[in-house]
Chains A and B, each alone.
Chain A
Amino acid sequence: MTATLTLERPRQSALVIGGGIAGIQAALDIADAGFHVYLVERSPSIGGRMSQLDKTFPTLDCSACILTPKMVDAGRHPNIDLLTYAEVVEVSGRAGAFHARIKKKPRYVDADKCRGCGLCAEACRLSGRVSSDFNAGMGKRAAVYVPFPQAVPLVYTVDPNECVYLTRGVCGKTFKCKDACTAGAINFDQKEEFIEVDVGTVINATGFDLFDARRRPELGYGVYPEVITALEFERLASASGPTAGKIALNGHLPRRIVFIQCVGSRDISLGAPWCSRVCCMAVAKQAHLAHDRIPGAEITVFYIDVRAFGKGFEEFYDRVRKEGVLYRKGLPSEVLRRGDHLVVRAEDMLLGEMVEVEADLVVLAVGIAPRSDAAQVAEMLGVKRDESGFFAEDHPKLRTVESSVPGVYLAGCCQGPKDIPDTVAHAKAAACAAMILLAQTEKAMVTSDAAN
């Protein structure tokens, strides 16, 4: 079946919203094919969630090592306009002829002059005092910062919510950051700018949020410092993290570690009925890392079911158990303080008995959730979301990268939970669908239902 769209030849460029692995992959593919790409990322650097991970399952590749080259490629690709610290605020038009308005937030650092040396951050009054988002709140940075050393672009940004000058209007007699910068890059006169672009297609790669573990108060997140999320564990395990890869709390190596699966996944009562798909393997990997780095650690994983469905996953699960990680069936009901340690209370389903497992560290495998601003993005793009709040694909089997709007495609976790290989595959497919549109050369575009 064919449909005829009466359009001029589509504009030979694409807008990719979101600079995580999905957006980077889609942008690189489209750019490599010879089309122009505007890659827009809200935060100061591309890289997304993947840049926060230590190792990837099941191969234990270093996440940064496989991601960084792609980030660099995206940063210097002649066909990619990288717009970081920027947000798409308006999209109009239709397939082949979209118009977008992009807000570039002031970094208060001149990107052309900044050499990424970090002298400003060292000099900043708040150096080492501002909570680092990149380190999931576990590390500290200055008010002028790059989120992580491999950031692309390697340009510093002044945090407007923290900077003493920007929040109080005065920062001593002189600006310490400005004085320290030998390139003269600090510029507090920078203003918000708007960029208007015409593109033929839009790829939504806005990613996901993590389930807020405080919504399961019985597990003690936010109350006990020894209860952390799996993402926080990644930062502890990462060589670029706050402890330089030492899995330690306040300098102490935990001897007893308990992982709890399905926190904010498969949970109808809290509006998160889906399986987040990555947690079983992420926890298996983290259990392996803990085993590897803390000799003699007693590691317990509480689970409802272990879903090891991907290539090499079941084999990895076998390996981790053989290393001595104890898997116990049962979803823990509560975490309590007992003296200097925590106690995880659960019913061991297979024993049919109540158990209390002592723990120095409890890791919650928090689920993947739709982004908190997904509703606004959906409204801006005019696309539908599904009942879970993720962006809705046009057909659950046959059109999983097409959104409900022709010419707007979905890539990665914004459409639903995915691991890295699935995200990359999805992003490549979205890029492909977008390019089918961009490659149309006839004055009257003829498209099949499979690609519009």
Chain B
Amino acid sequence: MLQIESRAFAREHDLFACVQCGKCTGGCPMTLKTKLNPRSLILRILTAGNGFDLEPFEELWDCTTCSTCTTRCPKNVSPMEAIIGMRSAIVEKGKIHPNVKTALESTFRQGNPLTMPRDQRGAWAADLALKPMAEGVEYFYYVGCTPSYDPRGQKVARSLVKILQKAGVDFGILGNEENCCGSEVRRLGEAGLFEMMSEENTETYKSLGVSKMFTTSPHCYNVYRNDYPKNGMQVQHYTQLLAGLVEGKKLELTGKLEKTITYHDPCYLGKHNSVFDEPRAVLAAIPGAKLVEMDRSREKSLCCEGGGGRMWLEGTNPGTRLAQMRVKEALETGAEVLATACPFCLLTLEEAVKHLNADDRLKVMDVAELVAEVL
């Protein structure tokens, strides 16, 4: 039994406002493969009297927190936050999947959910002689866990550094001192640990005099922008920074890349934060590149299943993968490159391409990598 006090929960999440229109569920990408039904979960909680047992609802862990449900709800209810709230209740009782436990413990001990040692975090940049973040440095580059540790992610971080150096952007990093932002921790329902991390990180950034920062990952960008206490720091996703540099003619792209590119909107950049145009503007600035759109683009972008802690959780139907559907959609456009701007999307989509034996037809690349090719 995993009882929650359903009435208090419903009030806390404003579930009484729900008009049961089903707009959330109709757009939920998980309904393509699992029995997750945000609308019916809300109705069950509303009608449960004062106690609701979460135990039978294993599909709560399927949610990728893509926010489709929340952005489309006409009554300003957030089924996504309600699901995170339900996860919190489960986490509090300690009944969590071993993978979640490992990710959370690793974040607490090592400052990353990837079970990697803290003192290796800055290794990716050892040969790059980057400035350490300090007072007076214009931008703080928050690299993030996957770009710091994952070999594929590192390529993105290194590409971005190359671009920024060419454009003469003054930035510093924290290296081994950088800590996980806590985005996935929060979405896995570990509210307490998240609060601790956000306070700690905010203190660190304040003491270093950070006023402007950018991130590699849309997840980190989102958490700083929307979940951290307001601290006056300007946060950008790197594609926004690059779009500004391109527009201001501070970044000239002199090479050529004669490729057809389709862009996959990461949920945490697009749906969560309405950043649709900047990554496209950067891609459009690549000489020779031809951009084509998938039918599902922008607000309708199909989630890759990498968010909401799902990088460490298979979910209730691992046999069907949205990333594979997405890759098929990209292939239909005839594009040679599937571009994205999120380390999670990059990993899930690349794996899907391999599974579909499409390596020879479609290459998955980050926007930063593409730009770095034409500097």
A interface, CB within 8 angstroms of B: 217-218, 262, 266-270, 304, 329-334, 336-337, 345-349, 352, 354
B31 and A347 contacting across the interface, CB-CB below 8 Å: yes
Tell me the nearest residue of chain A to B32, going by C-beta.
Answer: A354
Residues of B within 8 A of A268 (CB): 17, 74-76
Question: Which of B21, B26, B74, B298 is close to A354, meaning CB atoms less than 8 Å apart?
Answer: B26
Main SS of chain A's interface residues? mixed
Q: How far, in angstroms, from A182 to B336 measured CA to CA in the complex? A: 62
Residues of B within 8 A of A345 (CB): 26-27
Tell me the nearest residue of chain A to B70, going by C-beta.
Answer: A269
A333 and B74 contacting across the interface, CB-CB below 8 Å: no
Count chain B residues whose beta carbon lies closer than 8 angstroms to a beta carbon of A.
26
B26 and A334 contacting across the interface, CB-CB below 8 Å: yes
A-B contact pairs, 9 of them (CB 8 A): A262-B74, A269-B73, A269-B74, A329-B22, A330-B26, A336-B295, A345-B26, A346-B22, A347-B37
Residues of B within 8 A of A270 (CB): 74
B259 sits at the interface (CB 8 A) = no
Shortest beta-carbon distance from B56 to chain A in Å: 16
B299 and A217 contacting across the interface, CB-CB below 8 Å: yes
16 more A-B contacts (CB under 8 A) besides A269-B73, A331-B74? A217-B298, A218-B300, A262-B74, A266-B19, A268-B17, A304-B21, A331-B22, A332-B26, A333-B25, A337-B295, A345-B26, A347-B22, A347-B26, A349-B20, A349-B22, A354-B31
Residues of A within 8 A of B300 (CB): 217-218, 334, 336
B23 sits at the interface (CB 8 A) = yes
B interface, CB within 8 angstroms of A: 17, 19-28, 31, 37, 39-40, 68, 72-76, 295-296, 298-300
Shortest beta-carbon distance from B365 to chain A in Å: 25
A218 and B27 contacting across the interface, CB-CB below 8 Å: yes
Q: How far, in angstroms, from A349 to B22 measured CA to CA in the complex? A: 6
Shortest beta-carbon distance from B264 to chain A in Å: 16
Shortest beta-carbon distance from A52 to chain B in Å: 26
Residues of A within 8 A of B28 (CB): 333
Residues of B within 8 A of A262 (CB): 21, 74
Shortest beta-carbon distance from B322 to chain A in Å: 14
User: Provided the pairs A218-B300, A336-B295, A336-B300 are in contact, do residues A331 and B76 lie with their beta carbons within 8 angstroms?
Assistant: no
Q: How far, in angstroms, from A261 to B72 measured CA to CA in the complex? A: 15
Find the residue from B20, B28, B298 having the highest chain A CB count within 10 A.
Answer: B20
Residues of A within 8 A of B23 (CB): 331-333
Residues of A within 8 A of B20 (CB): 349
B74 and A218 contacting across the interface, CB-CB below 8 Å: no
User: Provided the pairs A268-B74, A349-B20 are in contact, do residues A333 and B40 lie with their beta carbons within 8 angstroms?
Assistant: no
Residues of A within 8 A of B298 (CB): 217
Residues of B within 8 A of A267 (CB): 74
User: Provided the pairs A330-B26, A346-B26 are in contact, do residues A218 and B19 lie with their beta carbons within 8 angstroms?
Assistant: no
Shortest beta-carbon distance from A221 to chain B in Å: 12
B27 and A334 contacting across the interface, CB-CB below 8 Å: yes
Shortest beta-carbon distance from B125 to chain A in Å: 39
Q: How far, in angstroms, from A50 to B167 measured CA to CA in the complex? A: 59
Q: How far, in angstroms, from A117 to B76 measured CA to CA in the complex? A: 54
Shortest beta-carbon distance from A7 to chain B in Å: 48
Question: Which of A217, A269, A337, A347 is close to B39, meaning CB atoms less than 8 Å apart?
Answer: A347
Q: How far, in angstroms, from A267 to B21 measured CA to CA in the complex? A: 11
A354 and B25 contacting across the interface, CB-CB below 8 Å: yes
User: Provided the pairs A269-B74, A352-B40 are in contact, do residues A333 and B26 lie with their beta carbons within 8 angstroms?
Assistant: yes
Q: How far, in angstroms, from A331 to B22 measured CA to CA in the complex? A: 6
A269 and B75 contacting across the interface, CB-CB below 8 Å: yes
Question: Which of A329, A333, A336 is close to B24, meaning CB atoms less than 8 Å apart?
Answer: A333
